[in-house]
Amino acid sequence: MELSALTSGALLPAIVVAAIAIAAFLYIRSLSTIPMPPPGGHGANGGMPGGGGHAARAPPPPPPRYPGVVTESELADATGAPGANLYVAVASPFAVPPGGTREVTVFDMAAGGGSDFYGPDGPYAVFAAVDATRGLAKSSMDAADVLVGGVDGLTDAEMDTLTGWYTKYQSKYPVVGRLVGDDYRPPAEGSAEDKKDA
């Protein structure tokens, strides 16, 4: 038979249907050779080395010593390493009242789902456990900018950038408290300062 006779008339659709059927059969057969995990887990050991289906978990990180405030030492320890908190501190870009001080807000990046970004292996890990104000304002990841903190000397454009980061963090990450020095002592109960920290 000539090729023209095979491809003419009713024979051509039959050839196309047969080719599709063979391709479908081979595809379905290839799926049956892929090993599937047992129901209710990710492999025989739950996907975890050592088996059992339960990951060994580090103890939960400690809360700040004083509610509503985070000391500089607590911030420095909040790197996101196993068993540690994951905090980023940012100075408020908003106007400071006369006689007031600019507060530095501490955000919980892990509680807001930011561990992949700010955790030890994340692309923004340089901002974790520090006052990242200057680095964020300058859009810089250089240690010379990140490790300095504060808003002194920032341009208006850099303050605008800082405002964008600060408001984004406010909308996405829970506030742990404000950053204070290691010499912080809680105010006497009932004082005006006590009401501010509550």
Q: What is the DSSP string of 97-110?
A: PTT----EEEEETT
Same domain, 122 and 25: no
Same domain, 72 and 46: no
pLDDT at 79: 96
| Domain presence at residue 177 | yes
Tokens for 80, please give them: 């996101």
Same domain, 49 and 72: no
| Domain presence at residue 60 | no
Domains identified in the chain, total number: 2
Same domain, 163 and 89: yes
Instruction: Give the residue from 96, 51, 70, 35 showing the smallest Cα distance to 181.
Output: 70
pLDDT at 27: 60
Tokens for 177, please give them: 């408290």
Same domain, 3 and 82: no
pLDDT in 10s for each residue of the chain, 198 residues = 555 555 556 666 777 777 777 766 666 655 554 444 444 444 444 444 444 445 556 677 888 887 899 999 999 999 999 999 999 999 999 988 888 889 999 999 999 999 999 999 999 999 999 999 999 999 999 998 998 888 999 999 999 999 999 999 999 999 999 999 999 988 877 666 545 544
| Cβ-based neighbours of 108, under 8 Å, separated by 6 or more | 85, 86, 87, 173, 174, 175, 176
Q: List, in sequence order, every beta strand (DSSP E) within 23-173.
A: 68-71, 87-91, 104-108
Same domain, 133 and 44: no
Parallel/antiparallel/unpaired status of strands 87-91 and 104-108: antiparallel
| Domain presence at residue 9 | yes
Instruction: Identify the domain containing residue 189 by its residue range.
Output: 68-197
pLDDT at 38: 43
Q: Which residues pair with 41 in a beta bridge?
A: none
Distance CA 78, CA 125 (A): 11
Same domain, 141 and 176: yes
| Domain presence at residue 59 | no
| Cβ-based neighbours of 91, under 8 Å, separated by 6 or more | 102, 103, 104, 105, 131, 133, 149, 150, 151, 162
Same domain, 5 and 50: yes
Same domain, 13 and 94: no
CATH number of the domain that 172 lies in? Answer: 3.10.120.10
Instruction: Give the residue from 83, 94, 41, 78 showing the smallest Cα distance to 61.
Output: 83
Same domain, 36 and 92: no
Strand ranges of the sheet holding 104-108, from the earlier edge strand across to the other edge: 68-71, 175-180, 104-108, 87-91
| Domain presence at residue 104 | yes
> For 20-23, which contacts have Cβ atoms below 8 Å and span 24 or more sequence positions?
none
Same domain, 26 and 85: no
| Domain presence at residue 20 | yes
| Domain presence at residue 63 | no
Same domain, 127 and 167: yes
CA-to-CA dists, residue 31 to 27, 34, 36, angstroms? 7, 6, 10
Q: Which residues pair with 91 in a beta bridge?
A: 104
